[in-house]
Amino acid sequence: MKPTNQTFKFSLKNTKILALLAVLSALAAAGRILFAPLPNIQPVTALVVMLTLLCGIRFGLLFATLTMVVSNFVLGLGIWTIGQVLGYALIALLTGLLLCPYRQKVPLWGIALFCGLMGYVYGLAQALFIAPIYGFSYFWVYYLAGLSFDTLHAIGNVAFYLVLAPIFFPLLTRLLQKYTC
């Protein structure tokens, strides 16, 4: 299922939109916690891409930030949370700039592959964020050591997108049309 041609614009003063953001973030945090035993396999990246396609970069970033902070209260909150939020900010930005203008022309599998690529982008962002802590001389060692985890993240992103997109795009489009009108 392809995203609709419509990008929803709304005010964050709209309580229904804020409630939807909170519920989606809580569900994604629960999904992240549920899949925590599987290394780097989680629904968050696919959902960030979907929500950014439907609602824009700002909404995708807010969703990712809330999801990371809430889930990290259970999984472990630390300096890495900042890196996670920055990684998802980059994903929302890339989705908004590279994919949003062409979303009607890109098939389901094309967006799924983009989600897979975002697994590697996220891993690179984490390595760059952590490099000043361990030292830039260890950057490549750290990045290459995490490449297998990034591959699992990429595979998980593709699978989650292919499963969730046909369900979430129509559902979210209907909800957003209802809440923004």
pLDDT at 6: 58
Per domain, the residue ranges of the chain are 15-180
Closest CA to 154 of 106, 107, 108, 122: 122
pLDDT at 138: 85
CA angle, residues 173, 154, 67, in degrees to nearest 5: 55
Task: Note the pTM of the prediction, 2 decimals.
Answer: 0.90
> Would you mind telling me the total number of residues written for the chain in this entry?
181
pLDDT at 177: 81
Longest Cα–Cα distance of the chain, Å, equals: 53
Mean pLDDT by 10 residues, the chain (181 residues): 59 81 94 91 94 92 95 92 94 94 90 97 94 87 92 96 94 83 62
User: Which CATH code fits 15-180?
Assistant: 1.10.1760
Give the amino acid at 82: I
**Cβ atoms of 21 and 56 closer than 8 Å:** no
pLDDT at 2: 53
pLDDT at 91: 97
**Cβ atoms of 45 and 68 closer than 8 Å:** no
pLDDT at 16: 84
pLDDT at 104: 84
